[in-house]
Structure 1
């Protein structure tokens, strides 16, 4: 079988990249083992335009957010599945000083498109601790990552574009004008293998910095049903039906996918400082995100093998990063545009 691209990994990165390549008329085959590590399936999935302790705009926010919502909405129509939830994010203020700062910022052209309202008094005081008010953000929400990946897996399988198998590096043959793998010939191969990049013989020299993240799942009383995502120290995402998910932790050691009592305690402590409603913890999940040392994605071509590429390192903001950069990466591999220096792995060629 002859295809243009062989993609290894069908997590968020591999799925979004495959869709972009198909959309520009190229053929793909995806090799993925659903039983292997896949942080996308247990991710919080948030897309948030203003983040961090200092509440600043997400890196390249305007470009990313103008692109991601239409992209995912288009895929929902194509796959006949709902997985994108646009929901305001409410962040209570810590102080009057922070309230005053955001009253000013809300009028600035850089921030105004993402601010629904600045509350100078409690806006959601029946649910959260917000004695100083808070900021309500728009163009935000979350992707149901597990549902998205499952729907796209089914789509690929129905089109006979998916090989459900563990990738065998020993079976890969590099040729002058492409690669060959178990009867599949491709012009290029792209590794979208998440934290498994650490074991990838072509790209394990890249400075991946995996981060373990854990989530809690809650049941709450029906009258406490929330309409927004609460976010201060932890995020509390409404899932409907009296259920929420809470996250996330950031652990650089013990990078396994086993939930821990330490993380549960940490999340409950932060949750108790944010919400007022009663809840019951019903589940806990963990995953390892493919974050990078400089917090920028890994995109590019191997320094020696011209047919071997990588699209990885999307980290905790993969939902917002993947669509825009998959589009740029697909166009770049086809020679139609440039690849930004900030994401190009050439920045790390000295490590090879």
Structure 2
């Protein structure tokens, strides 16, 4: 038997950012992942402290932004790369009223560090009323982040590339197959519904589609454009555009209506020809109060859940991985706002 401090089950932002906490604190672990493309791995990677529909912010936005930058610097030490892409969001204004609202909101104490008062007229695309820049916004190199971290796990014999089998878990004996452990962290996204220990937690699927496309006329590559959805370059001359939100059509195949929505959305501000290269979708685990669900099992103190990151998976996953680690290792209580117990 191999003894480890932690077993992590999952392959998204929650799993990888928690794994970083263990690396940072020199804890032993293995991560169980089939190597599939999770919702996190097909996400846009947007790092954004502003709700761009209403020009508002959210709980702990500045703390989460600051913590993410520190964490990515720490990860760079052992992967050799920093995955932060300095391409701030520029929100296209629909009309003059949005310009005025943006300026008014930029005076608010909680928004003044995020909403730039300098507007920009973007080249190539339709933006008659210009765009507003979101300060401190950026993107994550999603493919590089997941590829490099899983390679690091594999190189250090920390990755078990298989599906976790709940039937083989001996909780009372703190063992699973050929491992003994102190704690297990389940970071399974919507896969948690198959988990007999946490299947009742209140996460709901939100299906998101995005398209990767070839543009006939290039857009500025130092920004992330946002109108209804996000548009930015990725690689191999492809651009990302998405993603949609759907709580109703939850089948596991591409929804043509979602693709049509994206094509219409892009055509509304990009007046040139484009060609769709690929279509992807994933299921975001969302919670009604839009905050993660974190905590230990009521009967088995060695089992923990880290879920419900929603559309802010990068910020939530990074920031609250430390909260969960501190709760387990240092007996620091979780914030009630994200605790599993808040729904009991």
2:229 aligned to which of 219, 231, 234? 234
- Asked if structure 2 preserves the Cα contact closer than 8 Å seen for 1:258 and 1:285, the reply is no
Question: Is residue 2:30 matched to residue 1:29?
Answer: yes
Cα 1:307–1:277, aligned 2, differ >3 Å: closer, same or farther? same
Cα 1:31–1:260, aligned 2, differ >3 Å: closer, same or farther? same
Q: Which secondary structure does the structure 2 equivalent of 1:346 belong to?
A: helix
| 2:19 alignment partner in structure 1 | 18
| 2:61 alignment partner in structure 1 | 61
The range that moved more, 64-73 or 199-208, is 64-73
Q: How does 1:1-352 map to 2 (within 5 A)?
A: 1-35=2-36, 38-119=38-119, 123-124=121-122, 126-175=123-172, 179-221=174-216, 223-239=218-234, 242-349=237-344
In 1, distance between residues paired with 2:192 and 2:305?
A: 9
- Asked if structure 2 preserves the Cα contact closer than 8 Å seen for 1:298 and 1:344, the reply is yes
CA shift digits 1:2-57 (9 cap, x unpaired): 1111111122211110111221222111111113x611111111111112421211
In 1, distance between residues paired with 2:210 and 2:75?
A: 26
In 2, distance between residues paired with 1:39 and 1:271?
A: 22
CA shift digits 1:124-147 (9 cap, x unpaired): 1x3333222221112112223232
Give 1:238 shift.
2.2
CA shift digits 1:178-210 (9 cap, x unpaired): 620011111111101111001110111111111
In 2, distance between residues paired with 1:204 and 1:21?
A: 26
Give 1:347 shift.
1.0
CA shift digits 1:147-181 (9 cap, x unpaired): 21221111111111111111111110012xx6200
In 2, distance between residues paired with 1:181 and 1:241?
A: 42
Cα 1:292–1:281, aligned 2, differ >3 Å: closer, same or farther? same
The range that moved more, 339-348 or 134-143, is 134-143
In 2, distance between residues paired with 1:221 and 1:95?
A: 27
CA shift digits 1:73-103 (9 cap, x unpaired): 3323421245321211111222222212222
Give 1:257 shift.
4.0
Q: Which secondary structure does the structure 1 equivalent of 2:144 belong to?
A: helix
Runs of 4+ in 1 over 6 A off after TM superposition: none
- Asked if structure 1 preserves the Cα contact closer than 8 Å seen for 2:238 and 2:277, the reply is no
**Unpaired segments ≥5 residues, structure 2:** none
Tell me the TM-score normalised to structure 2 length: 0.93
Q: Which secondary structure does the structure 1 equivalent of 2:326 belong to?
A: helix
In 1, distance between residues paired with 2:105 and 2:11?
A: 40
CA shift digits 1:258-282 (9 cap, x unpaired): 2222111001111122323432211
**Paired residue total:** 343
